[in-house]
């Protein structure tokens, strides 16, 4: 386990990219980071979540471009069981074999298109820890839930299910990503104040669940994060970094978001 006080800037490529794009992407990102990071102290921790099939090519390309120590890679999902007759699925141990160290769990697109409920999300989080992967638990309310005043209750319930399965000690090895569904891929970012208010509620819940008050569990914001709004979001007290979708596909844009995380106020991050 390694512990570093830093923001986390994570890119979720979702089902985007190609081998051709990947080679170009990493070299452009390497150039952008080497010019902007030489002075940076307190660098953001950078994580990329490519489609599973690109985990190995991505880590090779990161090595070729000298970024292997600056960027961690992770998977977008895993199966809750460690092995078995589950055609098309991947276990945590398999993902680790392919170089993944982190894994997204319960992204709203998995909840929506693969009918993942809180119980399955909790089982996946437990499977990730068993495979020594760092889970990023994604939570967030829909527009309807926000409009009916249920946003905080929904997010609290989603976190509670994971807390129940993992216990305080397990929960402390996770990160939370608050991604309001209405802000994902819509260009409609939560305002910094709206995001901060939910993050403060999440922090209070985490403190109640773990007894910790020192921001040990980073809470990332996701939903239309881009270079233009990253610095303001990252300046919020309880925002520990960003989970970036669309904007992470453009290496220049992603580098600018990383720059907003470099040197920003710190949260504690525990990683494997």
Instruction: Name the site residues for ligand 13P (rule: CB under 6 A).
Output: 12, 107, 179, 184-185, 222-225, 243-247
The CA angle 188-194-197, to the nearest 5 degrees, is 150
How far apart are the C-alpha atoms of 249 and 14, rounded to whole Å?
10
CB contact set of 236 (below 8 Å; sequence gap of 6+)? 192, 195, 196, 199, 221
Alpha carbons 245 and 61: distance in angstroms, whole number = 20
Closest residue to ligand 13P using C-beta atoms: 245
Q: What pairs with residue 270 in β-bridges?
A: 3
Compute CA 14 distance to the chain's CA centroid, rounded to the nearest angstrom.
12
CA distance 7 to 220: 9
- State the minimum distance, in angstroms, from the CB of residue 185 to ligand 13P: 4
Give the nearest distance from C-beta 39 to ligand 13P in angstroms.
28
| CB of 27 vs ligand 13P, minimal distance in Å | 23
The yes-or-no answer on residue 114 being catalytic is no
Catalytic residue among 109, 141, 179, 253, which? Answer: 179
> Of the two residues 12 and 236, which places its CB atom closer to ligand 13P in the complex?
12
- What phi, psi does 246 have (nearest 5°)? -50, -45
Of 136 and 171, nearer to ligand 13P (C-beta) is: 136
Count of alpha carbons within 13 Å of 10, Cβ hemisphere only?
Answer: 36
Neighbours of 212 (CB within 10 A): 16
Distance separating alpha carbons of residues 133 and 117, to the nearest angstrom: 21
CB nearer to ligand 13P: give 184 or 202: 184
Residue pair 152/198 in contact (Cβ under 8 Å)? The answer is yes
- Taking the complex as a whole, the smallest distance from the CB of residue 7 to ligand 13P amounts, in Å, to 16
Shortest Cβ 168–ligand 13P spacing (Å): 26
Give the 3-state secondary structure of residue 242. strand
Q: Is 161 helix (H, G, I), strand (E, B) or coil?
A: helix
Residue 24 annotated to the active site = no
Using the minimum distance from each CB to ligand 13P, give the nearer residue, 109 or 209: 109
Minimum distance of ligand 13P from residue 158's CB (angstroms): 15
- What's the token pair of residue 79? 């199966």
Per DSSP, 119 falls in state: H
Nearer to ligand 13P, 63 or 114 (CB): 114
Tell me which residues are annotated as active site: 107, 179
């Amino acid at each position: 386990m390694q512990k570093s006080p830093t923001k986390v800037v994570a890119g979720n490529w979702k089902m985007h990219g190609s081998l051709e794009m990947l080679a170009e992407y990493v070299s452009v990102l390497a150039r952008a980071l080497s010019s902007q990071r030489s002075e940076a102290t307190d660098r953001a921790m950078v994580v990329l979540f490519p489609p599973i099939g690109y985990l190995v090519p991505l880590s090779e390309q990161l090595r070729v471009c000298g970024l292997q120590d600056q960027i961690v890679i992770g998977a977008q999902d895993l199966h809750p069981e460690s092995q078995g007759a589950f055609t098309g699925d991947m276990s945590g141990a398999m993902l680790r074999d392919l170089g993944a160290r982190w894994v997204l769990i319960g992204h709203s697109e998995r909840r929506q298109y693969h009918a993942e409920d809180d119980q399955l999300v909790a089982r996946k989080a437990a499977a990730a820890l068993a495979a020594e992967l760092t889970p990023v638990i994604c939570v967030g309310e829909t527009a309807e839930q926000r409009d009916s005043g249920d946003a905080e209750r929904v997010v609290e319930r989603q976190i509670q299910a994971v807390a129940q399965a993992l216990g305080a000690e397990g929960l402390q090895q996770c990160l939370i990503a608050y991604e309001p569904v209405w802000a994902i891929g819509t260009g409609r970012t939560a305002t910094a104040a709206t995001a901060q208010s939910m993050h403060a509620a999440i922090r209070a819940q985490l403190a109640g669940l773990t007894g910790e008050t020192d921001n040990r569990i980073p809470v990332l914001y996701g939903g239309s994060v881009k270079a233009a709004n990253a610095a303001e979001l990252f300046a919020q007290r309880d925002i520990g970094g960003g989970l970036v979708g669309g904007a992470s596909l453009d290496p220049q844009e992603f580098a600018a978001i990383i720059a907003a995380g470099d040197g920003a106020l710190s949260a504690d991050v525990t990683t494997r």
